[in-house]
A and B are shown apart, each in its own frame.
Chain A
């Protein structure tokens, strides 16, 4: 491989790596929103149970 190939590879890996990390953060944020939704449902179920008894 020529020197320029290594240069392109280094920049590509660095920026793609950082973009992938940002994408992973966005995915985790979706997971947290789902988790919060589950908690909301749990609380609603509990409140409905309390009212029913």
Chain B
């Protein structure tokens, strides 16, 4: 983000104020972050143990299949992050509360990081299993499109600074861009693709052995906790950054008068 040059663009109406919790929830505010951080670290350690010691070695792929235990949960977190962008963007356009705009921006940044890692780990799995780093199949292509959409979202935010118009444009992109998420999720069932089909589906008995399914579930838990932890950190950072930029712009304007 950068401060708009003089004359300043119409700024987002106000600096987002921190969430006010009732008195009885005060310990949650004070210690919740530490508990979340500790739970995330424990879940990641448990995931690493399960991925390398508990889950069986896959018969045809061998050990390289264990990449799945981080690749699939990271893809889930990317979906979750972009759903949060979608929902927060709708709420921002409806309520015009800058806190929703900040939440969307935070989630888009984290979602883009995870999508990048999904593309990289998927490619590292594909090379020994398929014999190629990349295939233009439906799942991989729609994942790449998703990555471009959210990189464009972050670039748009970066170029438009604190302007309200920029926040509105980003919100529209956040809503429209989300269309690619269900397409990406269902691409393996809609089209014949090289990418493996869904192993675990709601309401159906999984094809994979229980140890594989439990390790995947542990991965989903660990990465969801990591997402929540990162959301807290980056949202606080973005809130402070925006407050500092607005205060500085105001102080400079007053000094110039």
The segment from B82-90, B124-132, B205-213 found at the interface with A is: B124-132
Q: In the complex the two chains form, is A13's CB within 8 Å of B252's CB?
A: no
Which residue of A has the minimal Cβ distance to B226?
Answer: A18
**B67 contacts the other chain (CB 8 A):** yes
A14: chain B residues within 8 A (beta carbon)? 70, 74, 117, 120-121
A11: chain B residues within 8 A (beta carbon)? 67, 70
Q: In the complex the two chains form, is A6's CB within 8 Å of B244's CB?
A: no
A25: chain B residues within 8 A (beta carbon)? 230, 233-234, 237
What is the CA–CA distance of A45 and B255 in the complex, to the nearest angstrom?
9
Most buried by B among A1, A4, A7, A13: A7
B116: chain A residues within 8 A (beta carbon)? 17
What is the CA–CA distance of A25 and B63 in the complex, to the nearest angstrom?
33
Task: Give the residue of B124, B226, B244 whose beta carbon is less than 8 angstroms from that of A32.
Answer: B244
Task: Give the residue of A2, A13, A29, A42 whose beta carbon is less than 8 angstroms from that of B124.
Answer: A13
B124: chain A residues within 8 A (beta carbon)? 6, 9-10, 13
A3-B63, A4-B64 given as contacts; is B241 within 8 A of A42 (CB)?
no
Which residue of A has the minimal Cβ distance to B248?
Answer: A39
Q: In the complex the two chains form, is B128's CB within 8 Å of A28's CB?
A: no
User: Interface on chain B toward A: helix, strand, loop, or mixed SS?
Assistant: helix
Which residue of B has the minimal Cβ distance to A37?
Answer: B244
A3-B128, A6-B67 given as contacts; is B113 within 8 A of A39 (CB)?
no
Task: Give the residue of A3, A13, A43 whose beta carbon is less than 8 angstroms from that of B251.
Answer: A43
A10-B124, A13-B120, A17-B113 given as contacts; is B67 within 8 A of A42 (CB)?
no
Q: Which of A1-53 contact B (CB under 8 A)?
A: 1-4, 6-7, 9-11, 13-14, 17-18, 21-22, 25, 28-29, 31-32, 35-36, 38-39, 42-43, 45-46
Task: Give the residue of B61, B121, B245 whose beta carbon is less than 8 angstroms from that of A13.
Answer: B121
**B176 contacts the other chain (CB 8 A):** no
Q: In the complex the two chains form, is B241's CB within 8 Å of A35's CB?
A: yes
What is the CA–CA distance of A8 and B197 in the complex, to the nearest angstrom?
24
**B198 contacts the other chain (CB 8 A):** no
Q: In the complex the two chains form, is B247's CB within 8 Å of A39's CB?
A: yes
Jot down 23 A-B pairs with beta carbons below 8 A, ordered by A: A1-B128, A2-B128, A3-B64, A4-B62, A4-B63, A6-B124, A6-B125, A7-B64, A7-B67, A9-B124, A10-B67, A10-B124, A13-B124, A14-B74, A18-B113, A32-B240, A35-B241, A35-B244, A39-B244, A39-B251, A42-B248, A42-B252, A45-B255
